[in-house]
Structure 1
Amino acid sequence: MSKSVPILSGSPRKGGNSETLCQRFARGAAGKTAMAQGAVYGAGAWQLGDIQSNPAMREAYELGRNA
C-alpha cells in the first residue's frame, strides 16, 4: 500500500529556495510506488473569495483531496 505525500510550495519564484526544497523532498520520498504529480502556481489570492475562484487553487485542492 502506497501513501500519498502532498508537497506544497508557497513561493512565487521559479527555481527559488522553496521550489528547490520541494524538489529535493520529492526526490527523497520517491520509491517504487511513489508518484509525482504536477506543480501548481497560484498568485494574487489575498481573500477567501480569491482562492475559491482561482483555477490554480482549485487544481491544488483537487490534487490534495485525491492524494
Structure 2
Amino acid sequence: MPRKRIPNVFICLLCGKRAVTVRIQKNSESAIVQCAACNAKGEVKLKLPTMAPVDAYSLWCDEVYKSSKAA
C-alpha cells in the first residue's frame, strides 16, 4: 500500500477548486497563498524552518474563516 503524501495543491475555501498553491518566502519568513482559479490571495507569517506549505495553508484557512465570521 503506497504511503499518503502531503499535497502541494490545496482546495480553495472560496471557490471550491483544487487550485491553491503556497510559495514560501524564506527571506521574510512568510508565505504567499494564492488560488489560481479565483485569484484569492493572502500572506501568512511562518516560523521557519519548522513549518511547511501545509501549515501556511492552514493559517490562511484560519484567516478566511475569521474574516467570514466578522462579515
TM-score, normalised by the number of residues in structure 2 = 0.31
TM-score, normalised by the number of residues in structure 1 = 0.32
